[in-house]
Amino acid sequence: MQDIIYDVIVIGAGVSGCATARELARHEGRFLVLEAADDVCCGTSKANSAIVHAGFDARPGTLMARLNVEGNALFDDLERDLEFAFMRIGSLVVCTSDDARPGLETLLERGRQNGVEGLRIVEREELLRMEPNISDEAVAALWAPTAGICDPFGLTIALFENARANGVEFAFNAPVTALSRDGDTWTVTTDRGTFRARCVVNAAGVDADTIHNMASAETLTIQPRRGEYELLDTTAGTHVAHTVFMLPGPMGKGVLVTPTVHGNLLVGPTADDVDGKRATQTTAAGLATVRERAALTVRDIPFRETITSFSGLRAHRAEHDFFIGEAADAPGFVDCAAIESPGLTASPAIGRMVASICGDVLTRNDPAAFAERADFDPHRKGYVNLHIVSEDEWSALIQADPAYGTLVCRCCVVSEGQIREACRRGARSVDAIKRRLGVTMGRCQGGFCTPRVLQILCEEHPDLDLLSVTKSGPGSEYCVAPVKAPRGGGLDA
Amino acid sequence: MAHDTAADVRTLTCIRCPKGCAITVTLEDGEVTSVTGNTCPRGDEYARKEVTNPTRTVTSVVPVHGSATCSMVSVKTAEDVPRDCVRGVIDALRVVSVEAPVRIGDVIVPNVCGTGVNVVATKNC
Amino acid sequence: MPSPAITSTALATYDVVIVGGGSAGLAAAIAARDAGSDSVVMVERDDRLGGILNQCIHNGFGLHTFKEELTGPEYAARFIAQADERHIERLLKTTVLDIRRTDADSNPSTPADSTTPADPTHPIDVCCVNAERGVFHLRAASVVLAMGCRERARGALDIPGTRPAGVYTAGCAQHLVNIEGQLPGRRVVILGSGDIGLIMARRLTLEGATVACVAEVMPYSGGLKRNIVQCLDDFDIPLLLSHTVVNVEGERRVEAVTIAQVDEKSLRPIPGTERRIECDTLLLSVGLLPENELSSAAGVSISPTTRGPLVNESLQTSVPGVFACGNVLHVHDLVDYVSEEAAHAGASAAAHAQALRDANANPPAATPATPDLELPIECANGVRYTVPTTVAPTRMGRSLKVRFRVSGVFENRHVSVYVGERRIYHKLRPMLAPGEMQEVILVSKQLEGARPGEKIRVLLEEE
């Protein structure tokens, strides 16, 4: 066991954990984030709709409603400080029958109560101008101009890199196996050693109930709810201009159709409660449902352009609200749990709220603890985006580092220079590169670039070779053996 | 495509070129008595050989050291070898590595598996 | 990408810029040079010429071109040697970013959807990037598109299940084995019986892996017969026709896949026929798609069937001066045909450059000549597509090879060509399969007397 006693240990490096870490970093103290996977953003945060919700959906008065609207409002500043992709493109909730109109009115009213600005109902004619491919059945829609889309990987990675730059420590491949409290000190046991802290934050996503129930007698249950998606090529990316929802039903928000910040078209999700917490497989039935239900709001979706399908698990709780706060029977143990949709949107506000609760815990015993730091640097430099640099800017980058002149990913226009930069900032697997730069996410799905990406990973990380380099951490190696044992012989063998 | 010596009629797909002609070979007492369906002499030759002594070209790669551009050099048997020797050739290559430079046609393994056929490089490294 | 104003004097100007230095690009470059173009350059993103041939270490290339059986690297080396002899310029590790016609001010014009079409006699701007020169521009009288194709990936098939490591396209696995020298798995299921999949079945078996089966959704193989014989039959690898993969298992690495029989008509899995196969690797050889993102951005019209550019008898696309050949035009079965087609495109590109030079030296009279008669080629009755899709009898030379593919397996059908109601070609083919490219040769004499509005039709007939 280390002698260090951390002020706060955050369990889970998804978007909530990383947002919390960055908010903690604004204060004096020693902070550690423990992550079971090999990288940040490997659970619920990586496979979702990537929507920045306006906030008309959640029940007024819930934590979900408040943090959604607060979080949404923080995105502009966050984008400026952290340089991740975010576009406030607006959303439409489409109503396809006059009978269902009261549902739109209900949403409009709920949105106003939640403090969402700019909401109004658009009639078919205007709707058709906004979305020429809207369903022939569409009669009206709720227009929410404050809604947006973002890059959930980009956001989480930016929060992580900024927190780390400000002194927060991160340990990966460190799943938590036990939690115990001795007086004011928590002991966290992981596969990578034991750590102690005055305060523990449970941001473990779908596993947050397991972690919570290690610390508290008041049982928490998280129900993994699977959502399946189809991602279409950029050739289909302009099929809709805004995020198009169906009027919500009893199983979530229904299937949405949206452009992504990478220029693709995303369609999904389904909503199926599943047994396993790793049950992120797609199903033939689920993908068929996605296609059928999407057609209810948007016509002629070119599913021929599908480049991949995926699914993610939402950390659902029966009460359908975020579960944030210090456990009554476990002082110093702070839950940040049941962060399901709109968790991504709310994450900046969640980070603030959780960090503030940690501050309360720490100052309880030491009023001088957790003082604001004057030297906190809120800014993080994003990765170069070759889609938006000018020719002169690109040439200047190449002059400084010729690796920016060699393209590796032809589909998403990513150079060797960016991949090496991602490696230097800590990416150690192909999926880690993918989440930072989009490599292997394009239309060839890695068919062309994977071998080159493997080589670069091995060159940048001397402890890796072609046999040990992985897709997403230990157990996901690409190669099993050299085809020939390089020994002896030569020409006279 | 089991090879037996009983008198019979066999249909083959010619592999001498990508056209893939369907060839019918008639054998009596292990002797080829007729070949039909081929569209070129190579097909006739292939069919007779395939039912009596099938052969294949073997291709693989072996490690090359000291090359700036390659870590493996591709190789082939300079001529066909008996089909039964294919795995033997691969096994023989398992212990071979070469030093750059290598040119196309360089002998990598002479008389591989006693077939009288050399394994040669097919790439300049 | 906004580009600063560029003066043409600062730019390297070529007769022919060839995008791609694989089998198509090499043959096009050589032919363009031999047809009289002095300045030809190949722009290749890899660090060597030869393209995908470099990883195709198996034999079977070159029977038509060189009358002997070569491996892929050897076939490439023959062409590279020819390019070397001719001192043809090449830019390696260089990616083409954009192809546009220049406007009256000699700046790259706005792309395809521009309302005022650019003057087709203006040079074409080719924007490139590499490590030595940064982002830079070339100018060309003619451009040959020779970018090749990519493999369809898992997503295009919507195979359900988990997304672990161990799912590779066959070509990616081929690269790992033949270029990197690494075995991607020990127990393998291959989906799709395209040629690369068949080749990889043998390759992996020889290097010590076990290939459990090759599943093919269609009732026939998409690969060449010879590959089924020498890659599967030789090693007793079962080919399961009318089968597909319906599930992938494994959290980190593939642990098993489930295959099922499909209905021959709907191609949908038949419930109850599922079979689980433990394996650590799933290889996909489920089709190739021409890589035409650059072409589309340049305003080139794309065929929805081939996903390659629509071309005329000179292999010129809808954009004057832009030609296409090889797998970017349509997916070929044999590299020999790629080389032959690319040589045609290269020669056409050189002729176009020469014509522009001539026109600049002797500006044409004010009254434009009547345009050449162009006959569209339509396909029907089992013929899925043709390349080219239009023919100008005045420009086709003495004869023209029309390549096509059929939509199913046909026995004892006649391939027929009609001009209007007149049948000009009729020949029995004992066997026609979608995996094999077909051709008919049109002779210019047969097209004499064709009238405006008439069509050429290529189709299969029972008698």
Ramachandran assignment for A163, one of left (phi > 0), alpha (psi -120 to 50 degrees), beta (any other): alpha
Residue A347 lies in a domain: yes
- Domain CATH for A405: 1.10.10.1100
Q: How many domains does chain B have?
A: 2
Q: Which residues are bridge partners to C96 per DSSP?
A: C128
Residue B2 lies in a domain: no
Q: Please, what is the average pLDDT of chain C?
A: 92
Q: Which of B61, B89, B98, B120 to mutate to test the interface with C (most CBs of C within 10 A)?
A: B61
Same domain, C45 and C131: yes
Phi–psi pair at C139, nearest 5 degrees: -115, 140
Same domain, A82 and A164: yes
Same domain, A115 and A238: yes
- B with C: how many residue pairs have Cβ under 8 Å apart? 85
Spatial CA neighbour of A348 closest among A82, A136, A47, A5: A82
Same domain, C276 and C127: no
Q: Could you give the CA distance from residue C243 to residue C248 in angstroms, rounded to a whole number?
A: 15
Percentage of residues of chain C with pLDDT beyond 90: 77
pLDDT tens-digit profile of A380-405?
A: 999 999 999 999 999 999 999 999 99
Same domain, B32 and B65: no
The residue-averaged pLDDT of A206-229 equals 96
Cα–chain center distance at A251: 21
Q: Could you give the CA distance from residue C138 to residue A246 in angstroms, rounded to a whole number?
A: 49
Asked if the model's pLDDT at residue C419 lies above 80, the reply is yes
pLDDT tens-digit profile of A96-117?
A: 888 889 999 999 999 999 999 9
The residue-averaged pLDDT of A355-376 equals 96
Q: Yes or no: say if C77 and B104 are a contact pair by the CB < 8 Å rule.
A: yes
**Interface touch B63/C228, C-beta < 8 Å:** no
Poorest-pLDDT segment among A423-427, B90-94, C111-115, C411-415: C111-115
Q: Which of C70, C229, C430 sits opposite B15 (nearest CB)?
A: C229
Q: Which of C178, C225, C228 sits opposite B72 (nearest CB)?
A: C178
Residue C2 lies in a domain: no
Q: Could you give the CA distance from residue A206 to residue A48 in angstroms, rounded to a whole number?
A: 14
In sign, the C-alpha dihedral spanning C138, C303, C388, C227 is positive
Same domain, C74 and C34: yes
The three state secondary structure string of chain C is CCCCCCCHHHCEEEEEEEECCCHHHHHHHHHHHHCCCCCEEEECCCCCCCHHHHHCCCEEECCCCCCCCEEHHHHHHHHHHHHHHCCCEEECCCEEEEEEEECCCCCECCCCCCCCCCCCCCCEEEEEEECCCEEEEEEEEEEEECCCEEECCHHHHCCCECCCECEEEHHHHHHHHHCCCEECCCEEEEECCCHHHHHHHHHHHHCCCEEEEEEECCCCCCCCHHHHHHHHHHHCCCEEECEEEEEEECCCECCEEEEEEECCCCCCECCCCCEEEECCEEEECCCEEECCHHHHHCCCCECCCCCCECCCCCCECCCCCEEECHHHCCCCCCHHHHHHHHHHHHHHHHHHHHHHHHHHHCCCCCCCCCCCCCEEEEEECCEEEEECCEECCCCCCCEEEEEEEECCCEEEEEEEEEECCEEEEEEEEEEECCCCCEEEEEEHHHHCCCCCCCCEEEEEECC
Same domain, B43 and B75: no
Q: Which of B10, B84, B123 to mutate to test the interface with C (most CBs of C within 10 A)?
A: B123
Query: What confidence tier does C118 reach under pLDDT thresholds 50, 70, 90?
Result: low
Same domain, B63 and B116: yes
Q: Could you give the CA distance from residue C161 to residue A441 in angstroms, rounded to a whole number?
A: 18
Q: What angle do CA A96, A98, A104 make, to 5 degrees?
A: 75
Same domain, C26 and C135: yes
Residue B89 lies in a domain: yes
Q: Residue A486's pLDDT is what?
A: 40
- CA distance, residue B15 to nearest chain A CA (Å): 27
Amino acid at C10: A
Q: Yes or no: say if A58 and A64 are a contact pair by the CB < 8 Å rule.
A: yes
- Number of alpha carbons in the 13 Å side-chain half-sphere of residue C217: 16
Poorest-pLDDT segment among A244-258, A448-462, B46-60, C35-49: A244-258
Same domain, B39 and B21: yes
Same domain, B40 and B64: no
Spatial CA neighbour of C176 closest among C209, C142, C129, C220: C209
Q: Which two tokens stand for residue A101?
A: 């109109």
Cα–chain center distance at C36: 25
**Interface touch C180/A391, C-beta < 8 Å:** no
Same domain, A103 and A230: yes
- CA distance, residue B17 to nearest chain C CA (Å): 7
Same domain, B81 and B36: no
**Interface touch A447/C150, C-beta < 8 Å:** yes
H or E stretch including A481? strand A481-482
Residues of chain B contacting A483 with CB distance shorter than 8 Å:
60-61, 72
Same domain, B93 and B73: yes
Query: What confidence tier does A485 reach under pLDDT thresholds 50, 70, 90?
Result: low
Q: Could you give the CA distance from residue B70 to residue B122 in angstroms, rounded to a whole number?
A: 13
Nearest CA in chain A to B71: A486
The residue-averaged pLDDT of C35-47 equals 96
Residue C1 lies in a domain: no
pLDDT tens-digit profile of A118-143?
A: 999 999 999 999 999 999 999 999 99
pLDDT tens-digit profile of C260-280?
A: 999 999 999 999 999 999 999
Residue C423 lies in a domain: yes
The residue-averaged pLDDT of C315-330 equals 97
**Residue A481 sits at the chain B interface (C-beta within 8 Å):** no
Residue B26 lies in a domain: yes
Spatial CA neighbour of A401 closest among A385, A423, A416, A413: A416
Residue C187 lies in a domain: yes
The residue-averaged pLDDT of C27-41 equals 97
Q: How many domains does chain A have?
A: 3
Same domain, B47 and B89: no
Q: Which of C156, C251, C291 sits opposite A278 (nearest CB)?
A: C251
- Domain CATH for C194: 3.50.50.60
Domain that holds residue A132: 91-145+224-314
Q: Yes or no: say if C212 and C189 are a contact pair by the CB < 8 Å rule.
A: yes
Asked if the model's pLDDT at residue C133 lies above 50, the reply is yes
Same domain, C96 and C185: no
Token pair 């269609």 is found at C218
Q: Which residues contact A68 (CB under 8 A, 6 or more apart)?
A: A53, A55, A57, A58, A114, A342, A345, A346
Q: Please, what is the average pLDDT of chain A?
A: 94
Q: Which of C254, C269, C286 is the C-terminal boundary of a domain?
A: C286
Q: Residue B7's pLDDT is what?
A: 65
**Interface touch C71/B83, C-beta < 8 Å:** no
Phi–psi pair at A229, nearest 5 degrees: -135, 155
Same domain, A78 and A99: no
- Domain CATH for C437: 2.60.40
Same domain, A27 and A76: yes
Give the chains touching B; criterion: ≥3 Cβ pairs < 8 Å.
A, C
**Interface touch A474/C3, C-beta < 8 Å:** no
Q: Residue C218's pLDDT is what?
A: 94
Q: Could you give the CA distance from residue A170 to residue A423 in angstroms, rounded to a whole number?
A: 16
The residue-averaged pLDDT of C278-304 equals 95
Asked if the model's pLDDT at residue A415 lies above 90, the reply is yes
Task: Return the active site residues of A.
Answer: 53
Q: Which of A382, A408, A423 is the C-terminal boundary of a domain?
A: A382
Residue C370 lies in a domain: no
Same domain, C202 and C215: yes
**Interface touch A447/C169, C-beta < 8 Å:** yes
**Interface touch A278/C131, C-beta < 8 Å:** no
pLDDT tens-digit profile of A39-52?
A: 999 999 999 999 99
Residue B1 lies in a domain: no
- CA distance, residue A417 to nearest chain C CA (Å): 10
Q: Yes or no: say if A47 and A153 are a contact pair by the CB < 8 Å rule.
A: no
**Interface touch A391/C164, C-beta < 8 Å:** no
Same domain, A197 and A332: yes
Residue A164 lies in a domain: yes
Q: Residue C372's pLDDT is what?
A: 82
- Number of alpha carbons in the 13 Å side-chain half-sphere of residue A475: 10
The residue-averaged pLDDT of A80-100 equals 95
Same domain, B48 and B85: no
- A with B: how many residue pairs have Cβ under 8 Å apart? 38
Q: Residue C119's pLDDT is what?
A: 78
Residue C369 lies in a domain: no
Same domain, C237 and C325: no
Same domain, A310 and A321: no
Residue C391 lies in a domain: yes
Domain that holds residue B38: 8-53
Note the residue count of chain C: 463
Q: Which ipTM score applies to this complex?
A: 0.92
- Domain CATH for B82: 3.10.530.10
Same domain, A16 and A134: no
Cα–chain center distance at A327: 26
Nearest CA in chain B to C58: B59
Instruction: Give the residue, A117 or C6, on which the prediction is more confident.
Output: A117
Q: Which of B64, B74, B84, B117 to mutate to test the interface with C (most CBs of C within 10 A)?
A: B74
Asked if the model's pLDDT at residue C384 lies above 90, the reply is yes
Spatial CA neighbour of C246 closest among C259, C236, C233: C259
Token pair 């004097």 is found at C9
Domain that holds residue C344: 8-149+289-361
Same domain, A358 and A243: no
Spatial CA neighbour of A296 closest among A110, A120, A141: A141
- Give alpha helix (H) positions in A185-255: 208-215
Query: What confidence tier does C364 reach under pLDDT thresholds 50, 70, 90?
Result: low
Q: Which residues contact C426 (CB under 8 A, 6 or more apart)?
A: C414, C415, C416, C417, C461
Same domain, C411 and C423: yes
Q: Could you give the CA distance from residue C62 to residue A102 in angstroms, rounded to a whole number?
A: 71
Same domain, B66 and B117: yes
Residue A49 lies in a domain: yes
- Domain CATH for A260: 3.30.9.10
H or E stretch including A196? strand A193-202
Asked if the model's pLDDT at residue C368 lies above 70, the reply is no
Same domain, A331 and A200: yes
Same domain, A166 and A83: yes
Same domain, C341 and C192: no
Q: Residue A149's pLDDT is what?
A: 98
Nearest CA in chain A to C268: A284
Q: Could you give the CA distance from residue C176 to residue C179 in angstroms, rounded to a whole number?
A: 6
Q: How many domains does chain C have?
A: 3
Q: Please, what is the average pLDDT of chain B?
A: 90
The residue-averaged pLDDT of A154-174 equals 97
- CA distance, residue A384 to nearest chain B CA (Å): 29
Q: Are strands A148-150 and A51-52 parallel, antiparallel or unpaired?
A: antiparallel
Asked if the model's pLDDT at residue A492 lies above 50, the reply is no
Same domain, A64 and A171: yes
- Burial of residue B60 (number of CB atoms within 10 Å: 0-12, 13-18, 19+): buried
- Domain CATH for B27: 2.20.25
Same domain, C129 and C169: no
Same domain, C336 and C307: yes
Q: Yes or no: say if B24 and B9 are a contact pair by the CB < 8 Å rule.
A: yes
Residue C368 lies in a domain: no
Same domain, B48 and B79: no
